Chains A and B, each alone.
Chain A
Amino acid sequence: MKDPVNSSKKTSDKGGDRPLSGFFPRWMNINILAQDVGFFILGLIGASIVGWVIFPAVLYSKHPQPINFNHALHLDSEKVDGIEGETKAEKCLFCHAFRDDGTFVGIPKLESCTECHDDPESPLGETPEEKAFMTKYVANEEEIPWLVYSKQPDCVYFSHIAHVKMGNIDCATCHGDFADNEKLPLYVKNRLTGYSMNIWGKRISGFYWNKKFSDRMKMDDCARCHTEKGQEQNNACFVCHK
C-alpha cells in the first residue's frame, strides 16, 4: 500500500498548485506535522496516565494491621494507667524501649502487652479490638505479626539510640506523630520490594515543597538531616551500610 503523504509521485503531481512546495521537504507538510504532534501528545498523555495513575495503583497493595492498636487511648493517662513518661517521647520509649545493651526494641513483643493484658478472660477495656487481641494472641501466646511502616532493608544499619539519645531527636521527627492516633493506618506495601510506602513517601513523585523528615525515609533524607545538623561525616557509606 502506498502512503499518500509520503508518496513522492503524488506530491509532485500537486506541485503546481503550491508554490515553494518543491522547496520544503515533504515531511514539513503542516498536516503531517500536526498529526505527528497529535500522536506525540497522545503518547505523552497515555504515558502520564500510566506513570502517575496506573503504576502507583499497581505497585502498591493495602493491608490492614492484624489488630488496630489505639495509640491515643494508651497514652491518655486518664484512661490508661501504667504508661509512664513526662513528654510524649518518653511515653513512646516506655513501650518502644531501649534494651540494657542500648539496642532498640522496635515494636514491643507480646510479653510487653501482657504485662497489663495478662488475663485473656478479662479484658481491661471494652473495645472489640482488645477482645480480638486477647482471644487470638494473648490466649495462644502468639506474637502479633505487625507490619512495620519504617522497616528498612537489611543492608541499612540504623541505631536508634544514637539518634534519640545522642542526637536528641524526637520520635515524631522521623515517624510522624503517632501519639494521638486512634487507628493504625493501612500498611501500603510495595509489591516489588515488600516495604511500606512510608519509606518512599506518600507522594509517588518524591517531591515536596516543605519536606518534613517524617514524609520519607530514603537515604537522601538521612543525608539531608545529617547535613542540616552539621554531621556530614555521617554521610560516609560505611556509617550505615556495613
Chain B
Amino acid sequence: MKLTRRNFIAAVVGGIAGIQATPLPWKITDDVAIWTQNWPWVPVPPTGEFTEVSSVCNLCPGGCGIAVKKVDERAVKIEGRTDYPVNPGGICPVGMGGLQLLYDESLRFTGPMKRAGLRGAGEFTEISWGEAFDILAGRISNLRKKGTPEAIAAVDGNPEGTTVSVLIKRLMKAMGSPNYVRPLSITDTYRMGNLLMQGTLAPMAYDLENSDYVLSFGCGLLEGWGAPGRVMNAWGMWHDGNPAKRKTRIVQVESRASNTASKADMWVAPKPGTDGALALGLAHVIIKSGQYDSRFVADHSSGFDDWRSLEGTNHIGFKTLVLEKYSPEQVAKITGVNPKTIVSLAKGFANAKAPVAIYGKGKDSLNGSLYEFMAVQSLNALKGSINRSGGVLLPDPIPLSNLPPLEVDAIASEGLKRPRLDQAGTMRYPFTDSLINNFTDAINRNPKSPVDTLLVFSANPFFTLPDGGGFKNALEKVPFIVSFSPYRDETANMADLILPDCTYLEKIDDIVWPTGLQYPLYGLSKPVVEPLYNTRNTGDVVIELSRAIGESVGSGFPWENFEEALQARAKGLFDAGGGLVSYDPDAPAWQRQKAGNGPKPGYKSFDEMWEGIQSGGMWYRPVSSPKSWQGLFNTPSGKFEFCSKLIAQAIEHYSNKISKKAALKNMGLAAIDDEACMAHYQAPKAGADRSVYPLLMLPYEMINLASGWIPSPPFLYKTIFENQLLKDKSFAAINPKTAAKYHLEEGELVVVKSPAGEVEVRINLFEGAMPGIVYLPLGFGHTAYDEFLKGKGVNPNNIVQAGQDPISGYPVWWNTPVKLVKV
C-alpha cells in the first residue's frame, strides 16, 4: 500500500479527528491561558506575612506620615498615614513611588566606591568601608596638617535643623572649615524675612486650615508646596464640592495657569517677579480705604506711619511709601494686572475674617525674593493676620537640645577665621547664612579651585541649582569630590569617592518641622526594611569619619552612633514637656486652639517618650491659643516692623566701611534710605540685550515629578502627559499669541537660547501661559541614572541666567531672557 496524497489526507483527517478525543487540545488551551498569566516579566507580588510599618517620608521637607505595607521582608506599597498629624491619609505621587528608590538597583550605589572612569561617566569600583574611610580621612588630615582646612567644603542638602545636618555642620567646624553651604529653598527666604520683620527664629507657620481667604502668591499648593499631604487635605476642606458650602476662598497669584491656579476661585496673573508689587498694590487699596487692622498696626507694628528720629531726621513709613508709589494704576503698569482686579482683590482680602497671604515659588525647593516676601507679609500685618487663628502663627522654635559646645583644636580655629567663599554673613549679605551661587562663582572665578575636597550630602546641585550649569563647571575644577548620596545622581557621577547613604526607607532619621506647618513637629523615620546593600546611614558615617580623622576632631562626637545623637537632641523635647507622641485623627492638631483641652502626653520618662517617638514617628505640640503679645516680636523695636531696623543698621554699618552708594550697589539695592528697609518693588536687571532675547524663561514644577535632589521614581513617567514629554523631548509651554508671533506650531522643535546656554524642546501651545514667557518643566533632563530617567527631556536649570536678589543675594532664577530659534 502506497502513501498517496489521498491517503495522506485521510491520515491527517483521522489525526485531527483523533486528537479531539484526546486531552491535548483542551489541556493546551487551558495551559496556554495560565501561561499568559505567568510571563516572567509580569510582576507577581510575593506571598508571605502581611505587615505594616509606620514611618515618616523623608523625600522632601514636608515629612508626611507613611504606612509601608510589607509581605514578609519585602516592602510592597506606600500609603499615607491617617494617624499622623501632618497628612491625614494623603501622600504625593513621589512618595507613593518611593519603593522604586529602594528597590531599583540601577538608581543606587550598592556600597562604597571609588571612581574608575572619567568624571561623569558613572564608572566606579567597589571598595570596603575601611578603605573609603582611610582615603577620605587621610586626605582631610593632610589638608589639616598643611594648615588649609578651609579647602574642605561641604554642600549639605539635608533640611536645616535636622540632626544629620547639625552633625555635618559640626564636623566642618571641628575640621576647621567655614565653607559649609546649602542649596537654597523657600524656607531660607522665610527665615530671613521673619527675622527682619518679626525677629522670630521659628519656621514659617501658616494656619491654612483655619483660614477663610487664602491669597497665595505663587505657592504651588497643588504642586507640592509644603507637606503635600497636608496642603491637599486643607484644600479639600476649603473647597467643598458644593459652592454654597465653601468656607474659604482661594486666590492664586501666578503667571501660569498651574493646577493650583486652575482650581482656585480666582487666578491673577502678574508678570513673573512682580508679585511683590501686586501685594503692595493691594496694601495701597486697603490702606486708602481704611480697611486695615488699625489696632494691630498701632499696637504691634512699627514703621507704618512717618516718623522722626531722635536726631531729627524725617523718615517715611510704609503707609506713605505705598500710597505714593503703589496705586492700582502704577501697579498695573508694573504687573500687567488690571487696576480693577487689584481693587477687587484687595477688597476680597480686606473683607475676609481670617485671611492669610502666603508666599512661595512653586514647590518649596527653590528660594524666593526677600522683598517680595516682605510685601506679602506686610499684607498679613495690615490685616492683623499675624498671631491670629487662620493667619500666620508665631510658635516657639522646636525645643531640641543643643549639642554640647564643640572645642576645636588649633588648626581648626585658624581655619575657621578664614573668610567663607560664599561671603554669606559678610556686610554685603548680612542676613544670609549660606549662598551656594556665590560659592560656585568663587570656584569658577579662580584659576585654581579654592576647594580641594568637596563633600556632598543629600544634594544633587549639578542638577537642581538654577545656575546655568555653573555648579557643574565648578565640579570639574575641584580636585577631589566625595558624595554621600545613596543615588547615582549627576553630582555623584562626578565624585571620586562614594560613601553611600541608606535610602529613607532603610534608616533612622529626623524631620524637623515640615515646611509651612503651623505647629512644631519633630518626625522620626525608621528603617522599614534592613539595608539592602552595603550602605550606611550618613549620620553614623559622619561620626565614624570624625574619629578616623583624629582624636581632636573625633572628641567632638562622643556618641556611639547616630541614634544616640538623635536622642541627645530629643532630650530637649522631653524637658520642654507637653509634646504628644501619638495622634488621634478625630482631633486634628490644627483644631486644638478651639477645643482648648487636648490630649495629654502619656509618657513619664525620656525613655518612654523616645519609645513613643520611635513607634509613632512623631513629637508635636498642637496649635494653642494665640500667644501673648508680650515679647512676641524680637525685633529692635519689639514690634512687627514694616520698616526693618536691622536692614537700616546693616546698610549704615556697611556705609561706614565704604561709601553709601557703593554699599547699596553691592547689596544690590536700587532704593535708598527708608524704602530700602521696607517691602518695595525693584525691577530686576535685564541681564541681556532684550532685543536679542525678547522672551523670558520660567521653570515650573509638577506634583508628579521630584524636582529636588531625589530622582523621580521611574513609575512617575507614566503619569506625564504627551504635551509635557514625548519620547525624549520635553515641551515648552507658550501662549498661542507668542507662537503666532514667531510662527510656531504645536509640537514644533525649537531651541530655547539664553545667554547661559540652550536647550532643544517641542512647543506646546497653552492658553494658560502668559504671552512672552516660555515655561519649561523642572525634573526632566537627567544625564545620570537609568534608561527611564536619562536623556528624557531637558533641564531648564542649565539655561537659567540668574541675577542676585537684593540684600539676600539669592539667585533670581525667574528672570532668564531667552529667544526661540526654529530647528
On A, residues with C-beta under 8 Å from B are: 3, 5-6, 32, 35-48, 50-52, 55-56, 59, 99, 101, 103, 105-106, 153-155, 190, 192-195, 200, 204-206
Contact B15 A59 (CB under 8 A): no
Contact B11 A39 (CB under 8 A): yes
Kindly identify which residue among A39, A45, A51, A155 contacts B23, using a CB–CB cutoff of 8 Å: A51
Q: How far is the CA of A32 from the CA of B5 in the complex (A)?
A: 12
Contact B18 A46 (CB under 8 A): yes
Q: How far is the CA of A38 from the CA of B6 in the complex (A)?
A: 12
Q: B residues 1-31 with Cβ under 8 Å of A?
A: 1, 4, 6-8, 10-19, 21-24, 26-28, 30-31
Q: How far is the CA of A51 from the CA of B31 in the complex (A)?
A: 15
Contact A35 B22 (CB under 8 A): no
Contact B24 A50 (CB under 8 A): yes
Contact B50 A103 (CB under 8 A): yes
Q: A36-B7, A193-B31 are in contact. List 14 more A-B contacts (CB 8 A).
A: A35-B1, A38-B1, A39-B7, A39-B11, A47-B14, A50-B19, A52-B22, A56-B23, A59-B27, A153-B37, A154-B45, A155-B37, A195-B34, A204-B27
- Given A50-B22, A51-B23, A101-B50, decide whether A40 and B14 contact each other with a Cβ distance below 8 A: yes
Q: How far is the CA of A78 from the CA of B32 in the complex (A)?
A: 48
Contact B11 A43 (CB under 8 A): yes
CB closest chain-B residue, reference A36: B10
User: For A56, what are the chain B residues with a Cβ–Cβ distance below 8 Å?
Assistant: 23
Tally A-B pairs: CB < 8 A.
111
Contact B18 A153 (CB under 8 A): no
Q: How far is the CA of A106 from the CA of B31 in the complex (A)?
A: 24
A-B contact pairs, 12 of them (CB 8 A): A5-B6, A32-B6, A35-B6, A39-B11, A43-B12, A47-B14, A47-B22, A48-B18, A51-B19, A51-B24, A52-B22, A190-B31
Q: How far is the CA of A204 from the CA of B38 in the complex (A)?
A: 21
Q: How far is the CA of A46 from the CA of B1 in the complex (A)?
A: 18
- Given A35-B10, A39-B10, decide whether A154 and B19 contact each other with a Cβ distance below 8 A: no
Q: Which of B34, B44, B49, B50 has the most CB of A within 10 A?
A: B34
Contact B1 A40 (CB under 8 A): no
User: For B17, what are the chain A residues with a Cβ–Cβ distance below 8 Å?
Assistant: 40, 43-44, 47
Kindly identify which residue among B8, B35, B45, B47 contacts A192, using a CB–CB cutoff of 8 Å: B35
User: For B34, what are the chain A residues with a Cβ–Cβ distance below 8 Å?
Assistant: 153, 192-193, 195
Contact A39 B38 (CB under 8 A): no
- Given A35-B7, A39-B14, A44-B18, decide whether A55 and B23 contact each other with a Cβ distance below 8 A: yes
Contact B38 A47 (CB under 8 A): no
Contact A205 B16 (CB under 8 A): no
Q: How far is the CA of A36 from the CA of B6 in the complex (A)?
A: 8
User: For A195, what are the chain B residues with a Cβ–Cβ distance below 8 Å?
Assistant: 34
B243 to chain A, nearest CB (A): 37
Q: How far is the CA of A50 from the CA of B11 in the complex (A)?
A: 14
A177 to chain B, nearest CB (A): 24
CB closest chain-A residue, reference B9: A39
User: For B12, what are the chain A residues with a Cβ–Cβ distance below 8 Å?
Assistant: 43
Kindly identify which residue among B1, B6, B22, B47 contacts A48, using a CB–CB cutoff of 8 Å: B22
User: For A35, what are the chain B residues with a Cβ–Cβ distance below 8 Å?
Assistant: 1, 6-7, 10
B489 to chain A, nearest CB (A): 35
B263 to chain A, nearest CB (A): 33
CB closest chain-A residue, reference B43: A154
Contact B14 A205 (CB under 8 A): no
CB closest chain-B residue, reference A6: B6
One digit per residue, 1 when the CB lies within 8 angstroms of any chain A CB and 0 when it does not, for chain B 671-698 equals 0000000000000000000000000000
A69 to chain B, nearest CB (A): 19
Q: How far is the CA of A41 from the CA of B18 in the complex (A)?
A: 8
User: For A206, what are the chain B residues with a Cβ–Cβ distance below 8 Å?
Assistant: 23, 26-27
Q: How far is the CA of A101 from the CA of B19 in the complex (A)?
A: 49
Q: How far is the CA of A200 from the CA of B30 in the complex (A)?
A: 10
Kindly identify which residue among B11, B38, B44 contacts A46, using a CB–CB cutoff of 8 Å: B11
CB closest chain-A residue, reference B34: A193
- Given A43-B14, A193-B31, decide whether A51 and B38 contact each other with a Cβ distance below 8 A: no
Contact B21 A48 (CB under 8 A): yes
User: For A36, what are the chain B residues with a Cβ–Cβ distance below 8 Å?
Assistant: 6-7, 10
User: For B14, what are the chain A residues with a Cβ–Cβ distance below 8 Å?
Assistant: 39-47
B118 to chain A, nearest CB (A): 42
User: For B24, what are the chain A residues with a Cβ–Cβ distance below 8 Å?
Assistant: 50-51, 55
Kindly identify which residue among B6, B19, B35, B45 contacts A47, using a CB–CB cutoff of 8 Å: B19
Q: Which of B17, B21, B22 has the most CB of A within 10 A?
A: B22
Kindly identify which residue among B4, B15, B38, B50 contacts A194, using a CB–CB cutoff of 8 Å: B38
Q: How far is the CA of A56 from the CA of B31 in the complex (A)?
A: 12
One digit per residue, 1 when the CB lies within 8 angstroms of any chain A CB and 0 when it does not, for chain B 453-478 equals 00000000000000000000000000
Contact B10 A51 (CB under 8 A): no
Kindly identify which residue among A6, A43, A55, A155 contacts B13, using a CB–CB cutoff of 8 Å: A43
Contact B38 A193 (CB under 8 A): yes
User: For A47, what are the chain B residues with a Cβ–Cβ distance below 8 Å?
Assistant: 14-19, 21-22
- Given A48-B21, A52-B22, decide whether A106 and B15 contact each other with a Cβ distance below 8 A: no
User: For A43, what are the chain B residues with a Cβ–Cβ distance below 8 Å?
Assistant: 10-18
Q: Which of A56, A192, A206 has the most CB of B within 10 A?
A: A192
Contact A205 B4 (CB under 8 A): no
Q: How far is the CA of A56 from the CA of B14 in the complex (A)?
A: 21
CB closest chain-B residue, reference A43: B14
Q: How far is the CA of A101 from the CA of B30 in the complex (A)?
A: 34
- Given A52-B22, A55-B24, decide whether A193 and B16 contact each other with a Cβ distance below 8 A: no
CB closest chain-B residue, reference A45: B18
CB closest chain-A residue, reference B19: A47
Q: How far is the CA of A204 from the CA of B53 in the complex (A)?
A: 46
One digit per residue, 1 when the CB lies within 8 angstroms of any chain A CB and 0 when it does not, for chain B 43-87 equals 011010110000000000000000000000000000000000000
User: For A48, what are the chain B residues with a Cβ–Cβ distance below 8 Å?
Assistant: 18, 21-22
CB closest chain-A residue, reference B1: A35
User: For B21, what are the chain A residues with a Cβ–Cβ distance below 8 Å?
Assistant: 47-48, 51
User: For A103, what are the chain B residues with a Cβ–Cβ distance below 8 Å?
Assistant: 49-50
One digit per residue, 1 when the CB lies within 8 angstroms of any chain A CB and 0 when it does not, for chain B 116-128 equals 0000000000000
Q: Which of B13, B17, B18, B47 has the most CB of A within 10 A?
A: B18
B244 to chain A, nearest CB (A): 38
Q: How far is the CA of A177 from the CA of B427 in the complex (A)?
A: 87
User: For B50, what are the chain A residues with a Cβ–Cβ distance below 8 Å?
Assistant: 101, 103
B25 to chain A, nearest CB (A): 8
Q: Which of A3, A38, A47 has the most CB of B within 10 A?
A: A47
Q: B residues 530-561 with Cβ under 8 Å of A?
A: none
One digit per residue, 1 when the CB lies within 8 angstroms of any chain A CB and 0 when it does not, for chain B 571-604 equals 0000000000000000000000000000000000
User: For B8, what are the chain A residues with a Cβ–Cβ distance below 8 Å?
Assistant: 39
Contact A192 B32 (CB under 8 A): yes
Q: How far is the CA of A206 from the CA of B31 in the complex (A)?
A: 13
Kindly identify which residue among B11, B16, B27, B32 contacts A200, using a CB–CB cutoff of 8 Å: B27
User: For A39, what are the chain B residues with a Cβ–Cβ distance below 8 Å?
Assistant: 7-8, 10-11, 14
User: For A46, what are the chain B residues with a Cβ–Cβ distance below 8 Å?
Assistant: 11, 14-15, 18
B591 to chain A, nearest CB (A): 33
User: For B10, what are the chain A residues with a Cβ–Cβ distance below 8 Å?
Assistant: 35-40, 43
CB closest chain-A residue, reference B12: A43
CB closest chain-B residue, reference A199: B34
Q: How far is the CA of A39 from the CA of B22 in the complex (A)?
A: 18
User: For A50, what are the chain B residues with a Cβ–Cβ distance below 8 Å?
Assistant: 19, 22, 24
Q: How far is the CA of A39 from the CA of B8 in the complex (A)?
A: 7
